[in-house]
Amino acid sequence: MLATLAEYERELITERVNAGIVAAKLNGAKFGRPPLDPDEIAEKLAIAEDARAKGRTAEDAARLVGWSRATLYRLRMSA
């Protein structure tokens, strides 16, 4: 009995939260991570590639520009 009541209450909470998100989006609220600046990505990629050409490891080159090694590889593949 209590489990059914708790489940119903959870559904009500979910509905209210979703309604609030929809209302916020209609009022212009932004959700999620902000998009990356393509110019900044290109600049950081150039710095990292230059470091790689000078013999630094991918890990070192990525840390030089404030990224992880995986981010460096992912952005390099998409560029």
Q: Is the pTM of this model over 0.75?
A: no
Eight-state DSSP code of residue 33: P
As a whole number of angstroms, the distance between CA 70 and CA 21 comes to 32
Structure tokens at 19: 């309604």
- Given a cut of 80, whether residue 79 has pLDDT beyond it is no
For 6-64, the pLDDT digits (tens) are 999 999 999 999 999 999 999 999 999 888 899 999 999 999 999 999 999 999 999 99
Cα torsion 44, 50, 51, 56 to 10°: value is 130
| DSSP reduced 3-state for 37 | coil
Instruction: Report the 10 Å Cβ neighbour count for 14.
Output: 10
Residue found under tokens 């009500």: 12
